[in-house]
Amino acid sequence: MDFNDKYRERTKRMALYVIKLIQSHKRDFISEVLLKQLLRSSTSVAANFRAVCRARSDNERYAKLSISIEELDETLFWLEMLTDANLIKKDEHIEALKQEILEILKVFSAYRKNIKDKQ
């Protein structure tokens, strides 16, 4: 499996995990708003990385990758907000999700730096 296929799959799997997480939690007004933000940012990561794989130029690839990085960081933020506000129980599954997001974030940041260095 090449890099693009691997990370297209990892980002999609991360987004699907978030979807399942959201489906399993009760909702009130506040959690509903925060969970929607989490859903939007996590699915945006996967969608924008697909765009990275189809980019027509290094500039386009860099721009879409930058969006993916921002959305990964935002996904972490919403997870932190949800757990810090005790709207989602902080457990090993949430910690594993955070770790996966951090690992992808590190890889994407290095990838973006390589694109920048080539220009």
- Tell me if 115 sits within 8 A of 62, measured CB to CB: yes
> Could you tell me the maximum CA-CA distance found in the chain, to the nearest angstrom?
48
What pTM, to 2 d.p., does this model score?
0.93
Question: What is the dihedral sign for C-alpha 100, 98, 107, 33?
Answer: positive
* Helix locations, the chain, DSSP H: 3-23, 29-53, 58-84, 92-118
Confidence of residue 119 (pLDDT cuts 50, 70, 90): confident
**Fold category of 3-118 in CATH:** de novo design (two linked rop proteins) (1.20.1440)
pLDDT tens sequence across 29-73: 999 999 999 999 999 999 999 999 999 999 999 999 999 999 999
Can you give the residue ranges of every domain in the chain?
3-118
Output the pLDDT for position 26.
81
- Tell me if 88 sits within 8 A of 75, measured CB to CB: no
CA-CA distance, 96 to 100, in Å (whole number)?
A: 6
As given in the structure block, the two tokens for residue 26 are: 């009760």
Q: What is the mean pLDDT of the chain?
A: 95
Output the pLDDT for position 85.
95
